[in-house]
Amino acid sequence: MDGVGKSKTGLGDAVALAHTPTLDMLIKECPHTYIKAHGTAVGLPSDEDMGNSEVGHNALGCGQVYSQGAKLVEEAIESGLIFWSSAWKELTAYCKDGGTMHFIGLLSDGNVHSNISHLLALMRQAKAEGIKKVRVHILLDGRDVPATSALSYVGTLEEAIKQLNDASFDARIASGGGRMKITMDRYFANWDMVKAGFYTHVYGEGRQFASAAEAIETYRKENDGVIDQDLPAFVIAKDGEPVGAMHDGDSVILYNFRGDRAIEISMAFDNEDFNGFERGHMPKLKYAGMLQYDGDLKLPKRFLVEPPQIKYTLSEQLVKQGIRSYAVSETQKYGHVTYFWNGNRSEKFDDELETWEEVPSDKVSFDERPWMKSAEVTDKVIQAIESGKYQFIRCNYPNGDMVGHTGNLDATIIGVEAVDLGLARLLPVVKKHGYTLIVTADHGNADEMLEKNKKGEITVRTAHSLNVVPFIVYNADCEIADGSFGLSNVAATVTKLMGVKGDPHWDIPIV
């Protein structure tokens, strides 16, 4: 149940407000506990860091805690290793002789896709190494941070630029837009969104403003109630000319560390045979990502920080024992039950033993159809159970997360109810065919959709929560063990309930 946690505050708790007779019954009658899905439990720097679907599914699928995303990058910056990487050296050398270093990424400290502190460290090092010109292409968040906080992050960046700029160094914000409008699509759901960002960043095509703050303030006046993630694209210009269009001899770094929303824009920059959209007369650029976002696709070819080398996954262990598995979700979370679950692998461990199935997501705002594809996903799981082919089945219901991110509480309540209805349909089939069902989540979101700001005012929250998530076992004779558990304890629990061999590297089972 993606994004379904247990609220501590009760503010905007769509899970509690929803009519969920099935989930209520499971918690009342079945062995259950609540487990950690954020912070150090999933390899992030501190327990103030929100979990996310990527690190959550890594932990679920591999049974261990690895340093992830922000923590990996922070360690590389603190040690200086990031600046000794071949990618950093190649890109800085390429643009030193009259070229520009461009940085593209999500401008916030949400620590889910990026952190503004990483951008500032890269800019400082660029100046220290003799780069004369830097341009920053900012993607506005409002999803992993407060919904209308963009101006504060722009202010922080502009102040850093002011301190860095001198006769030898010229840094400016060049373009931007909301993360759900440009650049950061995922799972190939909307290439037009990526194209819009590409043309904004590369060619400086779009509505022009004198500053990022002017763009944000103007769009807010013109679009009442719009939040940062939905702000249109903008270009910073002077005398009618974009200040940051890209040219031959420039270097480009995507400073996001999370992979899902970095893959498509990386393909647009990196792949010679790219056909997602017409790129136009593209300048000769060197491109790198903060991390390698897909190890199997080798994408991008250049990256600043080595990804975690995830080993001993649950899928690999099941394959070794000849156990057939089935994974399904709709497009928005398909990669999570496949790529991330399998330790950041695009390929299966065994094509014969592993079956993956994707249900195409609707291309609409998720609060318009908050039930999403929960019925179709449930259909697929029921078919998989009834086929008798699979000993292990996993599915993801994205509703609590994807609808929760819209900030629409009423719609999210419906989304949670749709998931509950899916569970209601599964239980009798699970019982009839002798399966055990584990119900859990990868992080919270729908459970905390409102928050108090610094003034004590109640505001919309679109980010993930720091709340624990349910862990419920249905149709098994077991007891919950004593202890504090997280998502990494689930893999060993699965094999124990199945009565098959686990991996000695895994964290202990919950039952």
CATH code of the domain covering residue 142: 3.40.1450.10
Whose CA is closest to 330, among 418, 268, 390?
Answer: 418
- Residue count of the chain, please give it: 511
Q: What pLDDT does 170 receive?
A: 98
The residues annotated as belonging to the active site are 53
60 and 108 co-located in one domain: no
Q: What pLDDT does 433 receive?
A: 98
pLDDT digits (tens, 9 = 90+) for 294-326: 765 789 999 999 877 899 999 999 999 999 999
Q: What pLDDT does 296 receive?
A: 56
Is the model more confident about 28 or about 225? 28
pLDDT digits (tens, 9 = 90+) for 272-287: 999 999 999 999 999 9
317 and 301 co-located in one domain: no
- How far apart, in Å, are the Cα atoms of 146 and each of 70, 386, 387, 394, 498? 19, 44, 45, 32, 42
370 and 440 co-located in one domain: yes
199 and 245 co-located in one domain: yes
356 and 425 co-located in one domain: yes
CA distance 25 to 438: 14
pLDDT digits (tens, 9 = 90+) for 433-488: 999 999 999 999 999 999 887 778 898 988 899 999 999 999 999 999 999 999 99
Q: What pLDDT does 38 receive?
A: 95
pLDDT digits (tens, 9 = 90+) for 109-127: 999 899 999 999 999 999 9
* Domain containing residue 357: CATH number: 3.40.720.10
Residue 508 in domain? no
Strand 241-242 and strand 234-238: the pairing is: antiparallel
Residue 507 in domain? no
Ramachandran angles phi, psi of 460, nearest 5°: -70, 135
Please say whether the beta carbons of 168 and 254 come within 8 A: no
Is pLDDT at 500 greater than 80 in this prediction?
Answer: yes
318 and 296 co-located in one domain: no
Residue 6 in domain? no
Structure-token pair, residue 157: 């960046």
Please say whether the beta carbons of 207 and 257 come within 8 A: no
Structure-token pair, residue 449: 């959709």
Please say whether the beta carbons of 38 and 466 come within 8 A: yes
Kindly report the pTM of this predicted structure: 0.75
125 and 263 co-located in one domain: yes
User: Per the structure, how many domains does the chain have?
Assistant: 2
Whose CA is closest to 42, among 53, 55, 61, 33?
Answer: 55
Residue 509 in domain? no
Residue 95 in domain? yes
Residue 3 in domain? no
219 and 246 co-located in one domain: yes
Number of H helices, E strands in the chain: 16, 17
49 and 85 co-located in one domain: no
pLDDT digits (tens, 9 = 90+) for 64-111: 999 888 889 999 999 999 999 999 999 999 999 999 999 999 999 999
Rg from Cα positions in the chain: 23
Please say whether the beta carbons of 111 and 69 come within 8 A: yes
Residue 277: give the domain boundaries: 70-305
CA distance 52 to 505: 23
37 and 82 co-located in one domain: no
Structure-token pair, residue 290: 């903060």
CA distance 117 to 290: 13
- pLDDT bin (cut points 50, 70, 90) of residue 130 is very high
Please say whether the beta carbons of 471 and 490 come within 8 A: yes
Select from 255, 280, 305 the last residue of a domain: 305
Structure-token pair, residue 184: 């950061």
pLDDT digits (tens, 9 = 90+) for 414-432: 999 999 999 999 999 999 9
CA distance 150 to 162: 18
CA distance 28 to 23: 9
Select from 305, 334, 365 the last residue of a domain: 305
Q: What pLDDT does 452 receive?
A: 85
Whose CA is closest to 198, among 214, 216, 175?
Answer: 175
Query: What percentage of the chain reaches a pLDDT higher than 90?
Result: 89
Provide the CA 34 distance to its chain's centre, in angstroms. Answer: 23
- pLDDT bin (cut points 50, 70, 90) of residue 190 is very high
Contacts of range 267-274, beta carbons closer than 8 Å, 24 or more positions apart: 267/299, 268/194, 268/195, 268/198, 269/300, 270/299, 270/300, 270/301, 271/299
Residue 456 in domain? yes
DSSP-based three-state secondary structure for 445? coil
Structure-token pair, residue 64: 């261990």
Residue 504 in domain? no
Q: What pLDDT does 295 receive?
A: 63
- What mean pLDDT value characterizes the chain? 95
318 and 260 co-located in one domain: no
Please say whether the beta carbons of 134 and 123 come within 8 A: yes
DSSP-based three-state secondary structure for 438? strand
436 and 479 co-located in one domain: yes
Q: What pLDDT does 100 receive?
A: 98
Select from 272, 305, 338 the last residue of a domain: 305
